[in-house]
Amino acid sequence: MTRVVIVGAGISGLATAYAVEQLAKESALEVETLVVEKQQRTGGKIWSIQEEGFLCEWGPNGFLDSKPMTLDLCQQLGISDQLLRSDDNARKRFIYSEKTLHQLPENGPSFLKSKLISWPGKLRLACEPLVSKRTDPSDETLAEFGRRRLGSEALNKLIAPMVSGIFAGDPETMSVKSCFPRIYQLEQEYGGLIKAMVMLAKKKRTEQKAGKVVASAAGPGGVLTSFKQGIQQLSDGAQAALCGELKTGSAVLKIEQKQDGFLLQLESGEQLEADIVVTAAPSYAVAGMLEESNGKAAEILRQIPYATMNVVCFGYPREQIDFDLNGFGYLTPKAEGRNTLGTLWDSSIFPNRAPEGHVLLRSMMGGATNMAAIDLSEDEVRARTMADLRQIMGIRAEPEFVRIFRHSHAIPQYTRGHAARLLALDAALDANPGLLLTGNAFFGVGLNDCVNASNLTAAKVIEQLKKR
């Protein structure tokens, strides 16, 4: 019996273990899986907390249904009947700029009418097809890309808030190639973004006429999707479907390479043997595990920074909020000088997130541009969040329900040179055959990205086992 040990029981670890088990069955391989998790609970940053009738998401609140990997996993786990797609009104998203909430334009005419971007800014955007394709092979930051192709105003009011909403990141440091590979590819293939949109729209119409079902090719698209009882139903479902062993409350201190496999040293003093090891823990944690056996890999893993984040959940009686909550929420550009990155109107996105007659708002504070926010006191976090809600939404009432969740390592940052670091990491890991890394620190931070990476990693595990 071959033993595969997966370190980390977030969605990446759980999905990898499940995929290994399923692929092993299909290949008639005798494989024993063991998932080892430092915390007492599974799910990693997926955690749906229900208190006083409110459902607060500790971390991510869903995934987009435009890609098949997570939906396929739900089907395999038998939990598709619990899926919950966001309200159509949640498509309305806003940017707070110059003391006003502006709805993000959804088409050309609404863009022309929008006051979010000034007319000089719109003209600069319209000149995007005239900008030459970049041929310099060096890694370009999102800020450099945005200024070059779209102009400074579009960078500050559109790109930067989007980057903070997805990565809690700073566009001045983040790699466009690693954060948004599709956008990078569109410029390389079509020479520009507007040219790409025109060509892809034409291709889509042609394929639709031919009877093909096609998704939006230019952007992420899709509908935000979760579950009736919160996104934790995904990780709980994956855990329940596992056949192998699960050890929680077991921190891995060290992974040692042996001639015939690996030896894992746990904090408890226990030792585990493995034929193949998959790490699905944060990169900085994996660095500590590999310090003695592969110092070069550990050094590279430590070069992947993480942004901090405070997640602030406020619950109010609906009658105390004199504001139209018909939408997804808003993001705040850094130039506005506010305390929070934005606020999601959670009870407008999904039902059952607040008691009858109440609303739930979830604000984000911190990120790569405000790392010190993690050290603020509870009272200060609450006061600063309330100040933003008062300024932006006119909310003067005290919240009836308050929960603050702190993430000292919230989201990995794909900074300039990220792709080169991953290549160097692959080369360093040649010294540890049978050791594979997965998780959100490498090829995407979203749930779809994590599930996709888990499937690819599981396929590599089976490939290696077949060669033995």
pLDDT, tens only, 275-315: 999 999 999 999 999 999 999 999 999 999 999 999 999 99
Q: Could you tell me the CA-to-CA distances from 428 to 236, 433, 457 in Å, in that order? A: 34, 10, 17
pLDDT mean across residues, the chain = 94
Mean pLDDT for the stretch of residues 60-75: 95
State the fold for domain 2-44+233-304+414-467. Answer: FAD/NAD(P)-binding domain (3.50.50)
SS3 254: strand
Task: Name all contacts of 205-209 with Cβ < 8 Å and 24+ positions apart.
Answer: none
Residue 217: pLDDT above 60? no
Dihedral angle computed from the Cα positions of residues 128, 132, 137 and 142, in that order, rounded to the nearest 10 degrees: -20
Mean pLDDT for the stretch of residues 45-69: 96
**pLDDT reported for residue 205:** 80
Cα–Cα dist 242/146, whole Å: 44
- Angle between helix axes 68-77 and 232-241 (nearest 10 degrees) is 50
Residue 1: pLDDT above 60? yes
pLDDT band for position 467 (50/70/90)? confident
**pLDDT reported for residue 220:** 52
**pLDDT reported for residue 326:** 93
Same fold? 2-44+233-304+414-467, 48-89+306-412: no
**pLDDT reported for residue 342:** 97
Summarize pLDDT for 411-426 with one digit per residue, the tens: 999 999 999 999 999 9
Report which residue type is found at 111: F
Tokens at residue 122, please? Answer: 């719109």
Which residues 6+ apart lie within 8 Å of 378 measured at CB?
404
- Of residues 171 and 212, which shows the higher confidence score? 171
Summarize pLDDT for 451-463 with one digit per residue, the tens: 999 999 999 999 9
DSSP per-residue string spanning 70-118: HHHHHHHHT-GGGEEEPPGGGG-EEEEETTEEEEPP-SHHHHHH-SSS-
State the fold for domain 117-209. Answer: protoporphyrinogen ix oxidase, domain 3 (1.10.3110)
User: What percentage of the chain has pLDDT greater than the value 90?
Assistant: 90
pLDDT band for position 393 (50/70/90)? very high
**pLDDT reported for residue 107:** 82
Dihedral angle computed from the Cα positions of residues 226, 227, 228 and 234, in that order, rounded to the nearest 10 degrees: -150
Least confident segment among 22-26, 100-104, 213-217: 213-217
For the domain bounded by 48-89+306-412, which CATH number is listed?
A: 3.90.660.20
Q: pTM for the full model?
A: 0.93
Neighbours of 102 (CB within 10 A): 17
Mean pLDDT for the stretch of residues 40-65: 97
**pLDDT reported for residue 213:** 43
User: What percentage of the chain has pLDDT greater than the value 70?
Assistant: 98
Residue 48 gets the label, from left (phi > 0), alpha (psi -120 to 50) or beta, of beta
**pLDDT reported for residue 212:** 55
Cα–Cα dist 201/220, whole Å: 14
Tokens at residue 418, please? Answer: 């990220």
**What are the sequence ranges of the domains in the chain?**
2-44+233-304+414-467, 48-89+306-412, 117-209
Smallest CA-to-CA distance from 17 within 9, 25, 27 is with 9
